[in-house]
A and B are shown apart, each in its own frame.
Chain A
Amino acid sequence: EVQLLESGGGLVQPGGSLRLSCAASGFTFSSYAMSWVRQAPGKGLEWVSSISGSGGGTYYADSVRGRFTISRDISKNTLYLQMNSLRAEDTAVYYCAGHNCGGNCYSGFDSWGQGTLVTVSS
């Protein structure tokens, strides 16, 4: 069974940094492209970033490009999202999602974690 478990959320001041982790199990991690999706309080879903199975391909939403970095450690079966220069508008629940359709396929979103809350506030 595919399991995704996010961690690393919390309260951070504007301009600060945070690193989210997503521990994966139940599948061959390097075979899945992965993504981060966020949801601001009371709002809809927003795609943030995606990474290929090998880690060689990365994609970002304009709203986070240059501030966020997605990466993965295949030896640890873990996906990361390094978030720098955080803003109030980055406040959201951050979900990791997996794509069971090949390492360079980003359309799956067939598995989701439970989410981790990031609050950016002074």
Chain B
Amino acid sequence: DVVMTQSPLSLPVTLGQPASISCRSSQSLVYSDGITYLNWFHQRPGQSPRRLIYKVSNRDSGVPDRFSGSGSGTDFTLKISRVEAEDVGVYYCMQATRWPLTFGGGTKVEIK
């Protein structure tokens, strides 16, 4: 199975400051079609997850442009350029390149 390792587990941030979350996979996430199926999700307390980023760097409709995804192969990053109060919650990376599909353990973002 592909193991997805996120860091840090917890990320206290100051409003208006940048934040960065790392996600590393135990195997390359490049599929045979050349596409890397790596998603990022945000889950607020008591809510369902919401996809933010798909295929490494594509932002979903309605997602603020302060969110960006990057990376390749086995090393990926989600960045928030300026954290706002609504960004608190847990962020998960997920790979959909190989079965079984697997999620990272999550990174909890909170305001200092």
A residues with CB within 8 A of B: 35, 37, 44-47, 50, 59, 61-62, 95, 106-110, 112-115
Contacts and interface: CB of A to CB of B under 8 A. Distances in A.
B103 A45 contact: yes
Given A59-B99, A59-B100, A61-B100, A109 B41 contact: yes
Given A45-B41, A61-B100, 8 more contacts: A44-B103, A45-B94, A47-B100, A106-B101, A107-B39, A108-B54, A109-B96, A110-B51
Given A44-B106, A45-B94, A47-B102, A112 B50 contact: yes
Contacts of B92: 44-45
Task: Provide the main secondary structure of the chain B interface.
Answer: loop
Max chain A C-beta neighbours (<10 A), residue from B43, B96, B103, B104: B96
B89 interface: no
A45 B42 CA distance: 11
Nearest to B50: A112
B33 to A, nearest CB: 11
Contacts of A113: 48
A47 B51 contact: no
A112 B60 CA distance: 14
A45 B48 contact: no
Interface in B29-71: 37, 39, 41, 43, 48-51, 54-55, 60
Given A106-B96, A107-B96, A110-B60, A95 B49 contact: yes
